[in-house]
């Protein structure tokens, strides 16, 4: 039983910009995560050193990665909405 789509979807003229932005953010996050992994592989003792509020670098960096991913997601959503509003206007 196929009832079809709930809404009519048109052409998304912003899809190219959104795709490029997603790839850019993915690469940016991968670089930041790669630095964390590189520290763990090359100098794992550094991850055990306290850096802030008696928490070690591993905990601070790990929570930082989570917060960074959330912030990137919010920025991505904001920019994609802006692109869609600019490029998908009714003519």
* Upper half-sphere CA count for residue 67 (Cβ side, 13 Å): 6
Q: What global pTM score does this model have? A: 0.80
Question: What would the two tokens of residue 22 be?
Answer: 């997603």
Segment 40-78, tens digit of pLDDT: 999 999 999 988 888 999 999 999 999 999 999 999 999
Q: Using CA atoms, how far apart are residues 30 and 65, in angstroms rounded to an integer?
A: 10
């Amino acid at each position: 039983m196929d009832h079809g789509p709930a809404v009519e979807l048109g052409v998304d003229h912003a899809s190219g910009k959104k795709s490029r932005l997603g790839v850019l953010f993915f690469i940016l996050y991968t670089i930041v995560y790669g630095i964390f992994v590189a520290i763990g592989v090359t100098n794992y003792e550094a991850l055990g050193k306290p850096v802030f509020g008696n928490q070690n670098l591993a905990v601070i960096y790990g929570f930082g990665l989570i917060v960074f991913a959330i912030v990137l997601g919010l920025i991505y959503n904001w920019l994609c909405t802006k692109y869609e509003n600019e490029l998908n206007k009714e003519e």
